[in-house]
A and B are shown apart, each in its own frame.
Chain A
Amino acid sequence: MAVPLTEEVQFLPASDQSLLVYFGHQITLKAHQRVRKLLRLLESEPIAGVRNLHPAYCSLLLDFDALTWKQGELEAILRSYIDRLAALHLPDPRRIEIPVCYGGEFGPDLDEVASFHGMTPAQAVELHASATYTVYFLGFVPGFAYLGGLPETLATARLASPRRNTPPGSVGIADNQTGVYPFDTPGGWRLIGRTPIAMFRPDRANMSFLAIGDRVRFTPISAERFAAPKTA
């Protein structure tokens, strides 16, 4: 007999007004699908008094009004949602292309990343631009997408001491993740390039350029094209 899905799910209070739902403790596409499905269900059938949702690799954090809900009551409702996940279908993912000018002033860590893996910068770029990535979730700051699917041979640890500033559009690597910094923030990811695309724009209908579940590819562009006026 198949094990009911709910048995693999773990609930843990994060605070007196927030609850973590874990779908295992591993970064897998399967866990990601469940996070997305639960998110989708909670967005289409919102629970009154649930204020905010924070999906991540294999978990979903719910902030709730503690005057409305006791932890256990909310858990019971969530179990009924989770029972329905298997029957739920997700729409086909969007396919998004992100132009990147690799190396040089745009990617100050490219040479180091390449030499760390015993390859040339050009090989590292080719590898980074060859993969299709999945947006596991958005977090940290507005519009920051955590992309999974980095080729193993490019996985590189974070900088020992983070930069105080990271120019917006910087494309970075941290362990087996890659991502694009939407804002000038402190950051410890190794920067290999930069995109001219604004990852977060409050005047756009979709403020965040990327959304959870998107499939992403990076396309190398020249410094000239990076500097060219944007048409979009």
Chain B
Amino acid sequence: MSSILVQSSGLLTTVQDLGRQGFGTIGVSPSGAADPVSVRLGNRVVGNPENAAALEMTLLGGTFSFSDGAIVALAGSDFGAALDDAAIVPGKSVQLSPGQTLRLGPTRSGARCYLCVHGGIAVPQFLGSASTHLLSGLGGFEGRALRKGDVLSIGPATKPFRERVLSGRIVERLSLRSVLRVTPGPQADWFDGASLRAFCAATYRVGEQSNRMGIRLEGPPVSPQIGRPMITEGVSLGAIQVPTGGLPIILFVEQQTTGGYPKIANVISADLHRLGQLRPRDEIRFEQVTFDAARSLLIEHEKLLASSEAVV
């Protein structure tokens, strides 16, 4: 079986697929790629099913050598990749010869870059998924972020190399915007009209403490007008909870499965992948849409993703 040697790991590199659903009853959140759209597209470029396991790099990429060669593609943000010192274009399938080294650097755009490999990264499945859940040390490669010297197996190749490339137009339409669309959260009525308007008018900055569990926001605090104690309940991906102190936190892929803070809003499904590309200090705003609008946007988003033009 072919393998990848991690020569340097970068800032935080983990094995991720599209996550594990269905284990909320034992407190296991789905985890999975922070930017699932990039993983889906990157996997298609290398001829994988969309759900194949890839390497998720954060802000600073690693260096990887391929003793037996491989078919790879990079998706997501541009981390200035070079193959044996020659720059390579993200979003394009590349055939690596045995012994070649892929080197990534600091990001030139968003927070995450994905290294997709034909055959997928082969790690034991935990509850039906290869995704790493860092907080609990479960899944992925030994339940942890990659370190220098790790050797990862690549799944069996099933198809010959084919040159494929991501449509720049479609990537552009799916890529990061500074305005995230939200629907009202289950406790939106705990906040008065003025607070809700202020929340949508404000510019928030992504805090340094943000991670795969939650994206912490800095900016004008919001406070619920109802002082009713909150009873812990299930929380959804992208929920914007307002803890004591009023600085909102967006619950993210490795989120706690239940929580006891009121949720003012929730990022719409069609924008969730954009959260994965937010870097600390990025500025964002929220725009409220109706549930019907959110659904239409999701349908449009999935149509765009599924179109044959997306990967050619």
A21 to B64, CA, bound (A): 47
Q: Are A139 and B185 touching (Cβ within 8 A)?
A: no
Beyond the given A51-B21, A63-B236, A66-B294, could you list 15 further A-B residue pairs with CB under 8 A, ordered by the A residue number? A13-B186, A13-B291, A14-B185, A14-B186, A15-B237, A16-B294, A18-B237, A51-B22, A59-B233, A60-B234, A138-B27, A140-B27, A144-B27, A146-B258, A211-B26
Residue of A nearest to B238 (CB): A15
A165 to B51, CA, bound (A): 33
* B203 located at the interface, meaning its Cβ lies under 8 Å from any Cβ of chain A in the complex: no
Residues of B within 8 A of A (CB): 21-28, 30, 126, 133, 135-138, 183, 185-186, 231-239, 256-259, 263, 266-269, 291, 294-295, 298-299, 302
Residues of A within 8 A of B (CB): 12-18, 20, 25-27, 39, 43, 51-61, 63, 66-67, 70-71, 137-144, 146, 182-183, 185, 200, 202, 207-208, 211-212
A144 to B28, CA, bound (A): 10
Instruction: Please pick, from B25, B135, B295, the residue contacting A53 in the complex, using a CB distance under 8 A.
Output: B25
Q: Are A202 and B126 touching (Cβ within 8 A)?
A: yes
Q: Are B25 and A66 touching (Cβ within 8 A)?
A: no
Given the known A-B contacts A15-B183, A16-B269, are A143 and B234 also in contact in the complex, defined by CB atoms under 8 Å?
no
Given the known A-B contacts A39-B25, A142-B26, are A16 and B266 also in contact in the complex, defined by CB atoms under 8 Å?
yes
Q: Cβ of A212: which chain B residues have Cβ within 8 Å of it?
A: 25
Given the known A-B contacts A17-B236, A55-B234, A207-B26, are A139 and B258 also in contact in the complex, defined by CB atoms under 8 Å?
yes
Q: Are A61 and B233 touching (Cβ within 8 A)?
A: yes
Q: Are B234 and A61 touching (Cβ within 8 A)?
A: yes
A55 to B234, CA, bound (A): 7
Instruction: Select the residue from A14, A18, A67, A200 with max chain B CB neighbours within 10 A.
Output: A14
A27 to B137, CA, bound (A): 32
Q: Are B233 and A56 touching (Cβ within 8 A)?
A: yes
Q: Are A54 and B26 touching (Cβ within 8 A)?
A: no
Q: Are A139 and B27 touching (Cβ within 8 A)?
A: yes
Q: Cβ of A71: which chain B residues have Cβ within 8 Å of it?
A: 291
A66 to B28, CA, bound (A): 21
Q: Cβ of B299: which chain A residues have Cβ within 8 Å of it?
A: 67
Given the known A-B contacts A141-B136, A142-B138, are A63 and B21 also in contact in the complex, defined by CB atoms under 8 Å?
yes
The 8 closest A-B pairs by CB, nearest first: A61-B234, A54-B234, A139-B258, A16-B294, A15-B266, A18-B236, A54-B24, A51-B21
